[in-house]
A and B are shown apart, each in its own frame.
Chain A
Amino acid sequence: MKELGPLIHSFWYLLRGAGMTVLMATSAVVPATLLGVLLALLHVFGGWLLRSAILGYLFLIRGIPLLVLLTFVYYLMPLTGIDLPPFWGVVLVISLYYAAFVSEVFRAGILSLPQAQWDAARSLGMTRRLMLQIVVLPQALRLSAPPYVSLCVSLVKATSLVSIVGLWELTMAPFQIFIGAAAIYFCICYTLALYGRHLERRVLLGH
């Protein structure tokens, strides 16, 4: 059992890293979600100018690896003299990146509402705002919950990239540590994935 030495030795270290992963993921997921919902609404209801701006943004984000953007910001910050702690720089990039994917998930949720729902709301004389508030959004959010949870899993995994750009996190040296790190990521992500599956079943039952 000598091989397990480094793993046991670094248990607390890994656990602190896990804390960092959770902190970073939750700090990024909140702005990503809010911005994503906003982008989805603007994409569906905004004019052509807004729509093409959002399409351009989606094209960029979908085509460029997150690692390229993270490294770019890492090198850029000292150049521009923006004095942001590296942690918040990373959180900012991950939020902006995932906002694009969140917006696509919510947009799909909005568009998958049956036409009858819109017609019914309009024929009841609802204003656009009321229709969004009590008819469209609650249902769209519910429909998009399962893919949204998969995105959260992907976001948690993406925080591991931060180790490449030098910010201390769950990933570091000897081989056994990687197994430990994998185990911790698995615990976080699998729990989320199970929750996603539970939501999926509920959404399917509701229809």
Chain B
Amino acid sequence: MPFDPHFIARLIPALLEGAKVTVELAALTMAICLVWGLLVALAHSTRGLLGSIAGGYIQLVRNTPLLIQLYVVYFGFSMAGFGLSGFASGLLALCAQNGGYVAEIYRGGLQSVSIRQFEAGRALGMRRRTLYTTVILPQVIARVIPPLTNQSISIIKDTSQVAAIAVMEIMKITEVWVETSANTYDVFLGAALIYLALTSIAGLVGKLAERSLAFAQ
């Protein structure tokens, strides 16, 4: 029977337990990707072998599904003899894919700063370091915040795919509860509401960050 209060009272703590794993996974992925994406973007901006490797990496992870990357990491490591937990495999695959996207966001941010800003800085006799820290980077940071917010929302949603390698996050718990209770509507409604809440919070944090950096536009 849908909307049975006793059932919902048992369902909510279970889903929140899953939400904890989802949040951990998404937050770790975002934190790692902010750094890893920067390293990839820097490597990509160099000429020669390193630049080509970074470029190849970006194309590879962006043009294959996350689900396949998950399976490759999860089964690949276990075949190689040192099995990773589902959580660790999920984290690795999420970072691999989103690192490529974040690197492209950084590159887009840097490219969007007009060449005249660089020229003006140099004409004023600024050192390279001063030019970057006081003129260029504040503008880059302000411009990458909106796409990074979108990326973090997409990361939260992508963590649901980790259910495929049996990590007990929201999606997996949803599946288990639907299978065992046959109370399809309640479980999915609960899961959808939690995802909506998490993505809304991420969007809100992004908006606040955007507003506090509005001076740099």
Contact = CB atoms under 8 A, between A and B. Distances in A.
A64 interface: yes
B200 A63 contact: yes
Interface stretch (B83-91, B115-123, B184-192): B184-192
B67 A171 contact: yes
B68 interface: yes
Contacts, number: 99
B178 A75 contact: yes
B71 A65 contact: no
A160 B184 contact: no
A157 interface: yes
Interface in B34-82: 59-60, 62-69, 71-72, 75-76, 79
Given A65-B171, A71-B175, A157-B65, A178 B184 contact: no
B141 to A, nearest CB: 22
A68 B65 contact: no
Interface in B178-217: 178, 184, 188, 191-192, 195-196, 199-200
Interface residues of A, number: 32
Contacts of A193: 59, 62-63
Contacts of B163: 67, 164
B151 interface: no
Residue among B63, B79, B200 with the highest chain A CB neighbour number at 10 A: B63
A65 B158 contact: yes
Contact of A186 (B64, B160, B164): B64
Interface in A48-81: 59-60, 62-68, 71-72, 75-76, 79
Contacts of B69: 182
A185 B62 contact: no
Nearest to A161: B67
Contacts of B192: 60, 64, 68, 72
B68 A181 contact: yes
Contact of B67 (A62, A71, A163): A163
Contacts of A72: 184, 188, 192
A185 B71 contact: no
A45 interface: no
Interface string B141-156: 0000000000001000
Given A62-B153, A67-B161, A79-B184, A178 B62 contact: no
Interface string A146-172: 000000010001101101100000010
A140 to B, nearest CB: 21
Contacts of B153: 62-63
Contacts of B62: 153, 189, 193
Contact of B64 (A76, A163, A175, A189): A189
B29 interface: no
B139 interface: no
8 contacts: A64-B192, A68-B191, A157-B63, A157-B65, A158-B65, A175-B75, A178-B68, A189-B64
Interface of A: 59-60, 62-68, 71-72, 75-76, 79, 153, 157-158, 160-161, 163-164, 171, 175, 178-179, 181-182, 185-186, 189-190, 193
Given A63-B199, A67-B161, A182-B68, 15 more contacts: A67-B160, A68-B191, A68-B192, A68-B195, A71-B174, A75-B184, A153-B62, A157-B65, A157-B66, A160-B68, A175-B75, A178-B76, A185-B63, A189-B62, A190-B63
